[in-house]
Amino acid sequence: MRYLLLTLAALVLPATALAESYTIDPNHTSIYFAINHLGFTTVYGRFDTFSGKITIDWQKGTGAADVTVDAASVDTNVAKRDDHLRSPDFLNAVEFPQITFKSTALQVGEGGTTGTVEGRLTINGVTRPVSLEVSHIHCGTNPLNQKATCGFDATTRLMRSEFGVNYGLPALGDEVRLMFGVEATKD
């Protein structure tokens, strides 16, 4: 019996020990979006308030990500436009205060510097599948605080109409590009 338990522990423990948990550092993480305005230019904006957890199993190259964004934290550097974006016309931040992303599959590439994250994004109360392309994965020890840190970039494109955000189409672009620069500290 004891031998069986030890064998089971030997099989289980190495796997769980390699599944590392990271907390997104909001001070060194950026979430940007880009959208076409009237066909003239691209308008950029960001979300200032968010939180999240990332779990990585480096041996298997898999993991999970869970991110929550405060919809009202949208910031395009124009206060009145930000008010408009928070209104029922777009993000409807009072009725749906959170934008969430929960991964369904996370795969790190063979070289360990790229990957993909599949997941479900919820905006305006509508949940749709999205796929993020991950690049520039780099992990190491932060020389300033000596904490194990990982960082990466990620991008994806979505059609806002699929999330029920229809106002202003087609004058204001339907396609929205999301860009992430993430730094996360090991728990």
Partner 1 sequence: MPVPESGFPAGDGEAAVFLESTMPIGLNHPAIQSGVAPFVAAVVVALALGRVGRAAGAVAVLTGLCVTVGWVTGFGLTPMTATRKIILLGLAVAPVAVVLEWAAIGVRGRVALWFAVGVAAMVWVGWPVLARRGIGEALAVGLPLVGYCGWVLAVAGRGSADLLRTASGAAALGLATGGAALFGASALLGQLALAVGSAAGGVLVAHLVRGGGDGSGALGAAAGLPLALLGAAATLYAKMPALALLPLALVPLAPLLPVPQGLPRWRRAGILFALAMAPGGVAIFLTYRVAGPVPF
Contact window for partner 1 (CB under 8 A) among 36-44, 66-74, 100-108, 113-121: 36-44
Contact window for partner 1 (CB under 8 A) among 59-67, 99-107, 118-126, 142-150: 118-126
**Nearest distance, CB of residue 122 and partner 1, angstroms:** 10
**Nearest distance, CB of residue 2 and partner 1, angstroms:** 53
If binding is defined by CB under 8 A, does position 133 make contact with partner 1?
Answer: no
Which 43-72 positions form the footprint of partner 1 (CB under 8 A)? 44
Residues counted in the chain: 187
Question: Looking at beta carbons only, is 53 or 177 nearer to partner 1?
Answer: 177
Q: Do residues 139 and 120 lie in contact, with contact meaning Cβ atoms separated by under 8 Å?
A: no
How far apart CA 90 and CA 178 sit, in angstroms, is 16
Terminal-to-terminal C-alpha distance of the chain: 34
If binding is defined by CB under 8 A, does position 129 make contact with partner 1?
Answer: no
Q: Do residues 82 and 76 lie in contact, with contact meaning Cβ atoms separated by under 8 Å?
A: yes
How many Cβ atoms are within 10 Å of 78's Cβ, its own excluded? 12
Q: Which residues are CB-contacts of 77 (< 8 A; sequence separation ≥ 6)? A: 45
| One of 13, 59, 83, 98 touching partner 1 (CB under 8 A) | 83
Question: Looking at beta carbons only, is 58 or 167 nearer to partner 1?
Answer: 167
**Nearest distance, CB of residue 160 and partner 1, angstroms:** 10
Q: Do residues 55 and 20 lie in contact, with contact meaning Cβ atoms separated by under 8 Å?
A: yes
**Nearest distance, CB of residue 89 and partner 1, angstroms:** 4
If binding is defined by CB under 8 A, does position 136 make contact with partner 1?
Answer: no
| One of 3, 5, 10, 39 touching partner 1 (CB under 8 A) | 39
Looking at residue 175, its amino acid is E
If binding is defined by CB under 8 A, does position 124 make contact with partner 1?
Answer: yes
Closest CA to 31 of 56, 49, 5, 10: 49
How far apart CA 166 and CA 63 sit, in angstroms, is 33
If binding is defined by CB under 8 A, does position 18 make contact with partner 1?
Answer: no
